[in-house]
Amino acid sequence: MAEQGGGGGGSQCQAVDLSKHPSGIVPTLQNIVSTVNLDCKLDLKAIALQARNAEYNPKRFAALIMRIRDPKSKALIFASGKMVCTGAKSVQQSKLAARKYARIVQKVGFSAKFKDFKIQNIVGSCDVKFPIRLEALAYSHGAFSSYEPELFPGLIYRMRQPKIVLLIFVSGKIVITGAKVREEIYTAFENIYPVLTEFRRNSQQ
């Protein structure tokens, strides 16, 4: 029951569990956005002065922007005590990064807690390795697709169940976003994969 191949795009180092991913491709997670409530009012100026990795430009944006190297991520910290953490590549890393930010705030001198950690968005991507006829797909799945090549080169497919948005490109690369849990990404991809194979662009004459 080996899980999790190396990703849809790159070469897979481990076997893919075909019962869980019948397509044989596993989307890789690219970005996790999460929020947490530190549950105390913060003086952003004090934090910006103490912390080396923080920037605070109140004229431009009301929040403090902090970055850490490991896990490589960025956080927006607001004076109300709420924090948004982005850039992590997995759910655990996002939680760890959020904890690190909370720790830094704690060390500056505020009684930060770690309340209501919630994953708000998960973004994944993969490659089906064959070109796709977007026009035909948009015509066939008109209710869900939105394809404006002049506006954006990819087809925006809004799946209803699970409620996920997929960006499908001609090259066969897929971006999946809008998930709250990892499994939604996988389900969405498995749902769309047969559709993509149906609209595969066979080798041109």
The residue ranges that bind another protein (CB under 8 A) are 45, 48-53, 56-59, 68, 70, 96, 99-100, 103-104, 106-108, 114
Least distance CB 90 / another protein (angstroms):
15
Least distance CB 46 / another protein (angstroms):
9
Nearer to another protein, 114 or 130 (CB): 114
Q: Is 25 helix (H, G, I), strand (E, B) or coil?
A: coil
Pairing state of beta strands 164-168 and 82-88?
unpaired
Please state, in angstroms and as integers, the Cα–Cα distance from residue 179 to each residue in 91, 168, 183, 185, following that order. 12, 16, 8, 6
Nearer to another protein, 56 or 193 (CB): 56
Question: Which run of H or of E encompasses 47?
Answer: helix 44-50
Nearer to another protein, 51 or 185 (CB): 51
Nearer to another protein, 50 or 120 (CB): 50
Least distance CB 115 / another protein (angstroms):
13
Nearer to another protein, 49 or 181 (CB): 49
- As given in the structure block, the two tokens for residue 204 are 């041109």
| Cα 62 from chain centre | 24
Least distance CB 50 / another protein (angstroms):
5
- How many residues does the structure list for the chain? 205
C-alpha–C-alpha distance, residues 55 and 70, integer Å:
18
